[in-house]
Structure 1
Amino acid sequence: MKRNSTISGLMLLLFFFTTNAIAQNVALKGKVTDAATGESLIGVSVGIKGTANGVQTDVNGAYSISVPTNATLTFSYIGYTAQSLPVNGQTTLNVLLKGESNELKTVVVVGYGTQRKRDVTGAVASVNGDQLSKQPVQTPTQALQGKVAGVQVLSSGQPNSAPILRIRGTGSVLAGANPLYVVDGVLTDDIRNINNNDIVSLDVLKDASAAIYGVRGANGVVIITTKKGKSGPAVVSYDANVGFREIASQIKLANRQQYVDYLNVASPGKITSDDKSPLTIPGTTNWADAVSRKGFYTNHNISVSGGGDKSTYFISGNYYNEDGVIKTNNFQRFSLRANNDVKISDKLKFSDQISLTRGAERAVDIGAVYGNVYRAAPIIPSILNGKYGNTSAWSNVGNPLLQLDKTNNFILNNRVQGNVAVDYNPVKWLTFHSAFNLDARFNNQKNYGYQFDADGNTFTVGGGNQRQTNSSLFVQNDNSYQYQWDNTVTFDRTFDKHHFTVLGGVVTEKARSNYINGSRIDVPANQDQWFLDLGNPDLNATNSNNGSLFTRQSYIGRVNYDYAGKYLLTGSIRRDGSSKFAEKYATFYTVGAGWVISEESFVKGGIFDNLKLRGSYGELGNDNIDPSLFIVTGLPYQPYYFNNGTLANGTIIQDIKNTNLRWETTKQLDLGLDFGFLNNRLTGEFDYYDKKVSNALTYVTLPGILGDPDNRFITNAASYQNKGVEFALRWRDNISPNFSYNIGANISYNKNTVTGLNGGQALNGGGANGQTITRTENGQPIASYYVLHSTGIFQNAAEVAAAVPNSLEANHVGGLKYEDVNKDGKIDANDRIFAGSYQPKYFGGFNLGVNYYAFDISADFYGNWGNKIYNGKKNSRGSANDNIEAGYADARFTTAKPSSTDPDLITQSTPPSTYFIESGAFLRLNNLTVGYTIPNAISKRAGISKFRMFLTSQNLFTAKRYSGSSPELFNTDILSAGIDATNYPVTRTFAFGVNVQF
């Protein structure tokens, strides 16, 4: 009996405690919405403070969680101010989250880690992925144009072209001036495989903070972070836009009558009444129009993301198709991305990210096509009665339309990029990270030239030579891979007011590439039969096979220190070893400091919400050169006769090389100020920088007796400097829950100077009719125009008779006058002067956005000034029968209408001069977008959480002074930058799109 009573008592006690525990928990539900717009927020993290338990809001912004009655809930969401609210026994708790106004709390990626922006001591700019995806462009760097101070972006209208980025000026000539790209930890030089909709953020390291990347950080670093999944229900998103592109400003060439009038002076006797003359065929051919079209494009993206407590996923697929504005030009891209995180235990996490891309392109040789567009006679039809006009019979240039139709340059690109990583946290403040990153490319190229002749496929006026008697095929396969293995350990701990983050690690890299190619003639025209084995191996057959290999071994370290949120110190070091140099190892470093003045008691409560003074100094490297540039190579299997007449094969040294080449070194100082006023509605940054490059690669002249075919070799004998200031300002304000707006602007000033060639020779570049146009010389910007100084036009014979002799071009009435700069009594190449460069002194952009109820509108402007353009197409006439520009045709000197600015003729012998140099200043409306979001009450009836439709345009208009079609010139050759010769036309885009989320 006593035993039964004891058991009953224990059961009663257990029931009491269990009932009490249950009674202390409540089932809580609620909804989280945007305080400004009232929209439901999907994926908000709802956690129980002090525990690891939590949930996320669903597609309707709703959540449900079991919590103790006295618990405190935390609500956090990217871009919003976190909130902590007590439960107090409630069963319903709705929350309004306010947009995060304090930019200094934003997390930015700084290389092998992240930091709050308020803790950053370097010049780091961040752009949200949403700002990039709204623009109808293929690559994210195109959408970056005008958004970041200190970053100049040059883009081409050609599909699948990689934009040119210059971060704080041009810092190299022969070793490359492009920045390093880091995509989810993968180091690369090409991001054309990235789908803009997959990007969370794009961070730009502009100063010496890039030294954490050592020999690859001298030109700046662009870090791209792609999306990941979040715990919660699956979220399906579909984004698409379709539209067309057109040439923004077509080049205007002389018409029939203008051309004939000019030809009567340039080529007397050319125009006759002979029935073989093309004048018997009426009309004018606009060759620029003949080879161009409206190019339609479409871009579709679908993604699925979600996950549970142990794993999350993000999967996306993209299809992009674009017809170029030049006929036959086309590009297609398919891409697939999968980002996954798996929480194996509380201390161990596994993640993987993979991107698969396949691109197919029919490319055009724009240099060859437009070289003929500018020169082809407008009196010959492009096509007549099914046959192509034979321009070669008249002016000795090919029919550019025939060039396009009879050539098929097909390029197939396959790319695998991604990584796998493991993170281990034995304790909360210590993280071991190991990641293997891979970037592999498999490319195939087939260039086919169709057979045609003057009798069959072209009509001839007086004979011509535009024909291809044999078909031709060139095939090349390129395979390459680059892997990187990162192993780092991070210590992150706070002791009272002292916060330390210490990083140390080892990075191993290896890259290998190889190609094999060959060519044959008489290959069948059927594309399915484009194989070398089906061609004639006996005539003009070629074969080639080569490759390259390089490795890097690096050791990295970084310390970040923060005292009381006021005083910041940063130091990083990287020891890099590279197989590209005989001297294998070098050390690069950066030091930085910051003072958050707004946290001081004498500033708090004043007009400043944020005020931070920062500075950094460091040394970076540049090893972007051919891996064998310092290695003396030989050419094998060359015939050699011995004294006895015996013939044998041997190896010869091809050229002379400097076996002691070193990496280029950049030392950069940066001083900056970050500020915020009026509850951080007004924020901005100001930076001053001084960026000096030493040991830069250049050419040094060799004595002819040494036998080098170029009489020069590459060595470290140059230095450059970029010095400038940057200023950015932003204003954001919410007038009411249904009305908000933002305005932003940035401007940069940069002065580029060649500070020393140290025995190296001046570098000449560009060219027109065999004459160089640019010169890189001490005291001048890189690739400055080096030309004669044109002072006007000879108006009469007396002026000609009084002029000094010209050894470059005969003086005549209507001809250009030149200044005898060196006063030696003659005009020759020694009278050239420096006349500016394509590098702008100022560049920047401004943008604005408005949200009013369900409508949104945004506009982005971009421009630069203080730079010059050399109108090379005007100066590229190869013969007296070539066409001219319409503007020049109207303005040129004639006896009936004398001109004081434009000569009567421009011939092959017309030397480069200031006459061809024009202002490169412009202001462009880069993007204009108008959107409408269907109210939630309507869209949710169809099971859609968000539905937005929009109209957008790119490059809507450009205000410019340049007489050519566009002041934005895309030229990857640094020494030819700014020469408008045969650039792919800049395009204007009109598109319609939708953003749908389920």
Structure 2
Amino acid sequence: MFTSLCGAVLVCILFVNASFAQQNIRGTVTDATSGETLIGVSVLVKGTTTGTQTDVNGMFSINAPANSTLSFTYVGYTTQEVAVSNQTTINIRLASAATQLAQVVVIGYGTQRRRDVTGSVATVNGDELARQPVQTPTQALQGKVAGVQVISSGQPNSQPQVRIRGTGSVLAGAEPLYVVDGVLTDDIRNINNADIISVDVLKDASAAIYGVRGANGVVIITTRKGKIGPPVVRYDANSGFSQLANKVKMANRDQYVAYLNDADPGKIKSSDAAPLTIPGTTDWYGAVLRNAFYMNHNVSVSGGSDKSDYFVSANYLTNNGIIQTNNFQRFTLRENSDINISDKLKLSSQLSLTRGADRAVPLGDTYNSIYRAAPIIPAETANGLYGNTSAWGNVGNPLLQINKTNTLNIGNRVQGNLALDYNPLKFLKLHTAFNDDVVFNNNRSYLYQYNNDASTFTIAGGNQRQTNSSLTAEQNNSYHYVWDNTATYDQTFGESHLVVLGGYSMEKFRSSFINGTRVNVPASPDEWFLSLGDPSLNALDANGGDLYTRQSFFTRANYSFGGKYLLSGTFRRDGSSRFSTRYGNFYTVGAGWVISEESFMKNQKIFSNLKLRGSYGELGNDNIGTGLYVVTAAINQPYYFNNGTLTYGSVIQDIKDTNLKWETTNQLDLGIEYGFLNNRLTGEADYYNKKVKNALTYVSIPGILGDPDNQYVTNAASYKNEGAEVSLNWSDKVGPKFKYSIGANLAYNKNTVIGLNGGQALQGGGVGGQGNVTRTDNGHPIASFYVLQATGIFQNQAQVNAAPTNTYEANKVGGLMYADINHDGKIDANDRIYAGSYQPKFFGGFNVSMSYGDFDLNADFYGNWGNKIYNGKKAYRYSPEDNIESNYANNRWTTSNPSTTDPNVITQSTPASTYFIESGAFLRLNNLSLGYTVPSELLKRAKISRLRIFATSQNLFTAKRYSGFSPELQGLDPNNTTNILSSGIELGTYPTIRTFSFGLNLQF
């Protein structure tokens, strides 16, 4: 018995020793598609800290127990695990993560295989965004997603305007919802592009999972996480400069003087002209604009084990504006980590800290003044005096405007997510996450004191002055949190696969601001405090804030049978404090058929993939002012009774709709996805019909009710966006070294106002003395241009005598002729016509990517056509002394040049007309980059796994018909905030810029 026991123990010892005996494993890691060896792949013995990396030949060698598992991890590739099982040679083929991203998409509160998706969801790889020298990921999205229009600006720290399948609202906002690692936000200017691994865009009713936030689409951003393996260090940097992309040539001295002799006869001969003017020509754009410095540095460290992983990055961005004194800097720190507390419990965290400093400029005033400043007035003299443009009867000197204004906006932002995932059963996952977004903004603006005398200007006089110095300081803070709780059931029954999600979410937003203004504050920046100013002169103080909450219950079910037949459904019940009727219901239903998985498709060689899908649903939009439905009253208002008695009481200030409710959007989507030739050619096509009902608009009320505006906001409008999208992508290789891909997407959209239901047409787009130039009314696109129809130029007095009476300005030879639309014998507002819209009928982009050996070349194009632009800067005349464009100076009507297209002069009385409307079509080379990856054998001694150097250009050239600075225009009001009714008007817009930069991508 003792002998038997000893034998058993010996067998056990031998077995244990055999199990844990270290053996050497060798192998090679290659790319699953190209077969090329991969350098620097992390090889880790799972559950331990033992690891190594592949060498310059893609080979590795590691000691590991026979019963262990090896984990292979490489940035940009899918992690793969292999059991050793007494093997001594293991060769691995890693699949690109780009392929994985194409298969798995983020759909809100979870992910889904692309082949199982029944909605229209587009995905863009983060690496495509990171290579562009832009601040925001949305700007880098231009031209990459069918049906998504991105309107950017050259102004640093500006938020691009995004329209997903057209403009769906006027008063409640048309921007999509952004979700960053689960954090809901409206502003993603704090995101570092290099930290993004993917962007998923929910374009159809599948966005109903976000209820009252999803009507304008949802952009879901996923940032990077650590992977199993030793630490990987990345450093990405690029630096360069930006410049004005397109400069409108202004009139020189001779052209300007000739024009002024017609516009303001005798002005040049006046006695005060000589001291003010110069003999040459002032280039105001050259005096105020510059080549602006751009720099971006990003460093990250990532790694992990099967117990935990981490990703930490730091980013520093300098993005100066092309207007002097316009500077922006941003620092971002991000941490993402996962900790596997046990096999069933995981703790995840994402944290982003951002600090930005924006030295802004008075945009509208400055850029308007540069365009209008007289070219015969000096910008600045050698002794530091400014040319007195205002004394000339012109605008203020724009160089003086920016030099005597110092505006600095400091923004601090903390955005984070803390989540727990618990899997009590294999098929059940419980998730709770607390997301917050905290903002602390401190803004101050100082106006230096200066006079209109000879101590400041080349000559005394004029009206440009700042009598007292002025300091305005503002503190604006906000706190936004969302608490999400979900349970996901994921089970397979034979050929059936069912995933059911149920959840509850609560949300709260609170903001507060306080500001004050004081005059006679000292000029030293060290003394810019309100307490040092004079509170007795024009002291202004204000404070306020906002508060709203949301509460939501939601569920989603996705069902697949045999990987061929797909069904999905979403329901969400949202409550919002922004309405008196608190709750609303939103839903989506979808279906799909993967035809390529049918048995009758197995032997065909045409389609690699073929799927039909469709969805229909209702979404909401509650993006309105919090108190828009709340009736307020003013207290302590005096009132005299008939007997003369004075009494103080309260009075209703305005009329409001107390039953105001959210806008709702019903959307139908029908799509087909296809792949040919072993998926070398892939793409999809969609038709959609999106109708917005209960949209907010203005309705007039009788003046007897006492409302000063004689109108109130209510749900009385309907809009429709109907269109189609198509995208194609071809990828292939020629020989062992040359690889290439070509992609293109195109979208058609028709926007129509289909019912104001008692509402009045909305006027907007004010252009100086011309008044409003856009009108939103039934049967036309939102913010259509509504102007007179210009028919030509009066060539002789006989034409003038025969023309209808012009109520705007007197008819004259060389003046504009207009069509008498209603044939009443006079030209007035009743003769206005609808003359197009800023919204393009077609928009899209295409890209080309190729590599040969160690060289790579990428080009992205973006454009649109079928839209119009109103040349507001040309239409708005501050005074006859305003400068004009050189092209107009050459072509305008004169006795020696009887033009049939351009009038002799444009005055403050010249009405809005089709003369100022031009084509908005353009095609732009959005990004061009050339890179070289240093061969790995040259990097081996420095222990560098990858080094790529590159040169890139953003907006290298634009082919356009528009004569102005840029055909890409955001709708902004005078306060530089979004105003959809002012879209497509170039007035004081910050122009598009061109950027050149050089950089490197380094990985250890």
**Structure 1 residue 185: deviation in Å?**
0.2
**Structure 1 residue 868: deviation in Å?**
0.5
**Structure 1 residue 635: deviation in Å?**
3.6
Per-residue CA distance 1:144-194 (angstroms, 9 max, x = gap): 000000000010000000000000000000000000000000000000000
CA distance in 1, matches of 2:156, 2:395: 26
Say which SS state the counterpart of residue 537 (structure 1) adopts.
Answer: coil
Look up the equivalent residue of 2:501 and give its one-letter code. L
- Segment of structure 1 superposing worse, 32-41 or 853-862: 32-41
* Of 420, 424, 446, the match for 2:422: 424
Matched-pair contact (CA < 8 Å) for 2:410–2:443: yes
Matched-pair contact (CA < 8 Å) for 1:278–1:379: no
Question: For structure 2, which runs of at least 5 residues remain unmatched after alignment?
Answer: 972-977
The alignment covers a number of residue pairs equal to 991
CA distance in 2, matches of 1:688, 1:57: 51
CA distance in 2, matches of 1:335, 1:636: 47
Per-residue CA distance 1:5-52 (angstroms, 9 max, x = gap): 4554444443454456568x854233323252734265668899xxx9
Partner residue, 1:176: 173
Partner residue, 1:885: 885
* Of 336, 340, 344, the match for 2:337: 340
Say which SS state the counterpart of residue 628 (structure 1) adopts.
Answer: coil
Partner residue, 2:495: 497
Per-residue CA distance 1:674-694 (angstroms, 9 max, x = gap): 000111110001000000000
Partner residue, 1:968: 968
CA distance in 2, matches of 1:620, 1:973: 23
Look up the equivalent residue of 2:805 and give its one-letter code. P
Per-residue CA distance 1:621-677 (angstroms, 9 max, x = gap): 000001111111234455666788887765443211101001000000000000001
Change (3 A) 1:530 1:646: farther
* Of 386, 389, 395, the match for 2:387: 389
- Segment of structure 1 superposing worse, 12-21 or 636-645: 636-645
**Structure 1 residue 882: deviation in Å?**
1.5
Per-residue CA distance 1:562-588 (angstroms, 9 max, x = gap): 101001111011000000000000000
- Written as runs of structure 1 = structure 2, the 5 A alignment for 1:703-782 is 703-770=702-769, 771-782=771-782
Matched-pair contact (CA < 8 Å) for 1:277–1:461: no
Partner residue, 2:975: none
CA distance in 2, matches of 1:472, 1:719: 46
Say which SS state the counterpart of residue 477 (structure 1) adopts.
Answer: strand
Partner residue, 2:210: 213
Matched-pair contact (CA < 8 Å) for 2:31–2:93: yes
Change (3 A) 1:45 1:605: farther
Change (3 A) 1:836 1:57: farther
Partner residue, 1:631: 630
CA distance in 2, matches of 1:389, 1:646: 60
Look up the equivalent residue of 1:634 and give its one-letter code. A
Per-residue CA distance 1:797-825 (angstroms, 9 max, x = gap): 01111111111221100010100111111
Say which SS state the counterpart of residue 660 (structure 2) adopts.
Answer: coil
Look up the equivalent residue of 1:514 and give its one-letter code. S
Per-residue CA distance 1:740-789 (angstroms, 9 max, x = gap): 11000000000000000000000011122241100000000000000000
Say which SS state the counterpart of residue 263 (structure 1) adopts.
Answer: helix
Matched-pair contact (CA < 8 Å) for 1:556–1:574: yes
Matched-pair contact (CA < 8 Å) for 1:107–1:114: yes
Say which SS state the counterpart of residue 356 (structure 2) adopts.
Answer: strand
Look up the equivalent residue of 1:963 and give its one-letter code. S
Partner residue, 2:350: 353
CA distance in 2, matches of 1:73, 1:199: 28
* Of 971, 996, 1001, the match for 1:995: 1001
Per-residue CA distance 1:62-101 (angstroms, 9 max, x = gap): 46363648x9978687876888978675312232335479
- Segment of structure 1 superposing worse, 908-917 or 877-886: 877-886
**Structure 1 residue 941: deviation in Å?**
1.4
CA distance in 1, matches of 2:851, 2:603: 31
Partner residue, 2:297: 300
**Is structure 2 residue 192 aligned with structure 1 residue 195?**
yes
CA distance in 2, matches of 1:833, 1:19: 91
Partner residue, 1:699: 698
Matched-pair contact (CA < 8 Å) for 2:170–2:981: yes
Say which SS state the counterpart of residue 281 (structure 2) adopts.
Answer: coil
- Written as runs of structure 1 = structure 2, the 5 A alignment for 1:469-484 is 469-484=467-482
Look up the equivalent residue of 1:714 and give its one-letter code. V
Matched-pair contact (CA < 8 Å) for 2:754–2:779: yes
Partner residue, 1:909: 909
CA distance in 1, matches of 2:610, 2:29: 32
Partner residue, 1:840: 840
- Written as runs of structure 1 = structure 2, the 5 A alignment for 1:369-768 is 369-384=366-381, 385-455=383-453, 457-461=455-459, 463-606=461-604, 607-636=606-635, 651-768=650-767
Say which SS state the counterpart of residue 389 (structure 1) adopts.
Answer: coil
Matched-pair contact (CA < 8 Å) for 2:73–2:227: no
Say which SS state the counterpart of residue 940 (structure 1) adopts.
Answer: coil
Change (3 A) 1:286 1:16: closer
Matched-pair contact (CA < 8 Å) for 1:211–1:589: yes
Matched-pair contact (CA < 8 Å) for 1:55–1:232: no
- Written as runs of structure 1 = structure 2, the 5 A alignment for 1:185-334 is 185-272=182-269, 274=271, 276-278=273-275, 281-334=278-331
Partner residue, 2:119: 122
- Segment of structure 1 superposing worse, 623-632 or 728-737: 728-737
CA distance in 2, matches of 1:647, 1:302: 72
Look up the equivalent residue of 1:789 and give its one-letter code. Q
**Structure 1 residue 277: deviation in Å?**
3.2
**Structure 1 residue 529: deviation in Å?**
1.3
- Segment of structure 1 superposing worse, 630-639 or 549-558: 630-639
Matched-pair contact (CA < 8 Å) for 1:792–1:817: yes
- Written as runs of structure 1 = structure 2, the 5 A alignment for 1:59-138 is 60=55, 62=60, 64=62, 66=64, 68=66, 89-97=86-94, 99=96, 106-138=103-135
CA distance in 1, matches of 2:644, 2:529: 42
Say which SS state the counterpart of residue 810 (structure 2) adopts.
Answer: coil
CA distance in 2, matches of 1:516, 1:308: 48
CA distance in 2, matches of 1:14, 1:830: 101
Matched-pair contact (CA < 8 Å) for 1:151–1:168: yes
Matched-pair contact (CA < 8 Å) for 1:687–1:725: yes
CA distance in 2, matches of 1:439, 1:84: 37
Say which SS state the counterpart of residue 370 (structure 1) adopts.
Answer: helix
CA distance in 2, matches of 1:837, 1:14: 83
Partner residue, 2:784: 784
CA distance in 1, matches of 2:515, 2:636: 19
CA distance in 2, matches of 1:432, 1:299: 40
CA distance in 2, matches of 1:642, 1:414: 55
Partner residue, 1:816: 816
Partner residue, 1:938: 938
Change (3 A) 1:613 1:446: same
Say which SS state the counterpart of residue 721 (structure 1) adopts.
Answer: strand
Say which SS state the counterpart of residue 458 (structure 1) adopts.
Answer: coil
**Structure 1 residue 940: deviation in Å?**
2.0
CA distance in 1, matches of 2:719, 2:54: 55
Say which SS state the counterpart of residue 241 (structure 2) adopts.
Answer: strand
Partner residue, 1:148: 145
Per-residue CA distance 1:715-734 (angstroms, 9 max, x = gap): 00000000000000000112
**Structure 1 residue 739: deviation in Å?**
1.8
Change (3 A) 1:820 1:424: same
**Structure 1 residue 793: deviation in Å?**
0.4
Per-residue CA distance 1:537-573 (angstroms, 9 max, x = gap): 0010011111111000000100000101001111011
CA distance in 1, matches of 2:182, 2:944: 35
**Is structure 2 residue 861 aligned with structure 1 residue 861?**
yes
* Of 50, 53, 57, the match for 1:58: 53
Matched-pair contact (CA < 8 Å) for 1:56–1:231: no
